[in-house]
Chains A and B, each alone.
Chain A
Amino acid sequence: MLAFDGMSEPALNFERDVELLRRIADRDRSAFSDFYDQYSGLLFSIALKVLNDSKEAEDVLQEVFMQIWNKADAYDQLLGKPVSWAVTLTRNKAIDRIRASQRRSRLLEQATAEAVLPEDSPSANERLHGKENAEMVRSVVAALPSDQRRAIELAFFSGLTQDEIAKTLQEPLGTIKARIRRGMLKLREKLEGFI
């Protein structure tokens, strides 16, 4: 997918986000505001998915954006795209919070329930990559074998360890690792060039 000047849209987004972070590191409030407008929906959705509590998700989002404001100069492109950095920050803070709040048993109960993505709800991808690409991503995610998708979602959103995921899904640890590997590689293969 090409935009203009021979650069793909993901590449343009990457350049724009790196520039935003550079300006944020220079204490540019308007750049921070733009970055917030661009990604707060995605990051909030992730925090909410992990915590299942909008107030706690708001707290996490506040912590994440304060860290972005204070540590933008520590951003390293080796850590991935700016949005990947923010996604990792959000997920880790939400997981830390859920672990700290001693909600393990509740967390395990939630994890055993099958995650179902609502078909009609607009996603963060729609805003970030356009409706057409978002549909494509949704169809790729939906097309993943359910056991692979389930293992990946538990790993990323639940805060469970590898052993706990294996126990929850009642499979050997090796099987879980293999499912995650196959699922992640399939996503990469199908989404290459679109995100």
Chain B
Amino acid sequence: MIDERMEEQAGLYVLGVLTPEETRAFEATLQRDAGLQQLVAALRDSRDALAGSLPQVTPPPALKKKILAQIDAQEKVTALPATAQRSENQVIWLPWALAACLAIFCLISLSQQKALRQKNDDQAKRLASLDQMAESLRNETQDLKQKVASLQETNRLAGLRIAMLNSMLADSPKAVAVSLWDNQQQRGVFVVQNLKPLPVDRDYQLWVIDPQYSAPVSAGVFQVDAQGNMRLQFKTDRLIESANKFAVTMEPKGGLPVPTLKELVLMGG
């Protein structure tokens, strides 16, 4: 027969609110009392049913994986010491074990040295490879520089003014000239053929005709060789914005600031 006090203690026991001393005393009684054991079992069921009536919240699925992973990790660790069982003859084998350990240590050291050498070789190869790559990059950079220079040249040529000058003289119909003018550089090249040589007191004078000026701009004087040919690099006295036309006149030795235009020899644009 279980009295009210023990029923009370049983209820508090299954709910976990007995003090440690009360718990020890109650469990001592519980061990000897089958009736009390039955009551406690029934009260536990009631308690579990009360807990089970809580709204159920499912734990996140990842938690189960986490727990199983922890179990797997733990099992791997606990499986290791199984082979480490001691024998009574262990002391006898201790020197041999130490020697074996030393041998293993040496083997490991050799292995590590070999691995280090291998690593050094690999790094040397890698450095050589990087050098090759750097050289290749340098070559590519040089090529690119050349391409850029070429493009700049192309661009510069695109800014060139090229003019063909034809003869204005009836007695020298085959006389012809080409003038190349680089407006950016403000300089040009003039090439002429089949122009008759002049007396020593006379010069041919090259002119650049720019619309911004009322008069042609002088580009210098020249003489032709016996075959009537000449190649001249020239600059102008004034800044040229647009070289519309080129002309050659015969002028007194040394040339004039403005052309007389009485003896126009070549003209074109």
- Give A101 to B63 CA distance when docked, in angstroms: 22
Contact B49 A165 (CB under 8 A): no
Given the contacts A187-B49, A188-B46, A180 and B75 also touching, CB distance less than 8 Å:
no
Given the contacts A32-B71, A152-B15, A129 and B52 also touching, CB distance less than 8 Å:
yes
Contact B67 A29 (CB under 8 A): no
Chain A's closest residue to B8 (CB) is A181
Given the contacts A32-B71, A156-B15, A178 and B51 also touching, CB distance less than 8 Å:
no
- Give A33 to B65 CA distance when docked, in angstroms: 10
Report chain B residues within 8 Å CB of A48. Answer: 57
Q: Kindly supply a per-residue 1/0 record for chain B positions 52-81, scoring 1 wherever the CB is within 8 Å of any chain A CB and 0 otherwise.
A: 111111111001101110110001000000
Contact B66 A62 (CB under 8 A): yes
Q: Is B12 engaged at the interface, CB distance under 8 Å to the other chain?
A: yes
Chain B's closest residue to A182 (CB) is B11
Report chain A residues within 8 Å CB of B1. Answer: none
Report chain B residues within 8 Å CB of A36. Answer: 64, 67
A-B contact count (CB 8 A): 168
Contact A124 B45 (CB under 8 A): no
Q: Is B50 engaged at the interface, CB distance under 8 Å to the other chain?
A: yes
Given the contacts A141-B50, A141-B53, A155-B12, A41 and B59 also touching, CB distance less than 8 Å:
yes
A27 vs chain B, min Cβ distance (A): 7
Contact B71 A178 (CB under 8 A): no
Q: Is A2 engaged at the interface, CB distance under 8 Å to the other chain?
A: no
A113 vs chain B, min Cβ distance (A): 16
Q: Kindly supply a per-residue 1/0 record for chain A positions 120-145, scoring 1 wherever the CB is within 8 Å of any chain B CB and 0 otherwise.
A: 01111111110000100110110000
Given the contacts A44-B57, A180-B11, A185-B11, A161 and B17 also touching, CB distance less than 8 Å:
yes
In this complex, how many residues of chain A approach chain B with their Cβ under 8 Å: the count is 69
- Give A62 to B71 CA distance when docked, in angstroms: 11
Q: Is A95 engaged at the interface, CB distance under 8 Å to the other chain?
A: yes
Q: Kindly supply a per-residue 1/0 record for chain B positions 1-45, scoring 1 wherever the CB is within 8 Å of any chain A CB and 0 otherwise.
A: 000100110111011110100000000000000000101111111
Chain A's closest residue to B54 (CB) is A45
Q: Is A177 engaged at the interface, CB distance under 8 Å to the other chain?
A: yes
Report chain B residues within 8 Å CB of A194. Answer: 49
- Give A91 to B92 CA distance when docked, in angstroms: 53
Report chain A residues within 8 Å CB of B121. Answer: none
- Give A91 to B14 CA distance when docked, in angstroms: 11
- Give A58 to B57 CA distance when docked, in angstroms: 11
Starting from the known contacts A32-B68, A91-B16, A195-B46, 10 additional A-B residue pairs (CB-CB under 8 Å) come to A29-B71, A33-B64, A61-B63, A80-B41, A121-B56, A137-B49, A137-B52, A153-B50, A180-B8, A180-B15
Which A residues fall within an 8 A CB radius of B? 10, 27, 29, 32-33, 36, 40-42, 44-46, 48-49, 54, 57-58, 61-62, 65-66, 69, 78, 80-81, 83-84, 87-88, 91-92, 95, 117-118, 121-129, 134, 137-138, 140-141, 152-153, 155-156, 160-162, 165, 177-178, 180-181, 183-185, 187-188, 191-192, 194-195
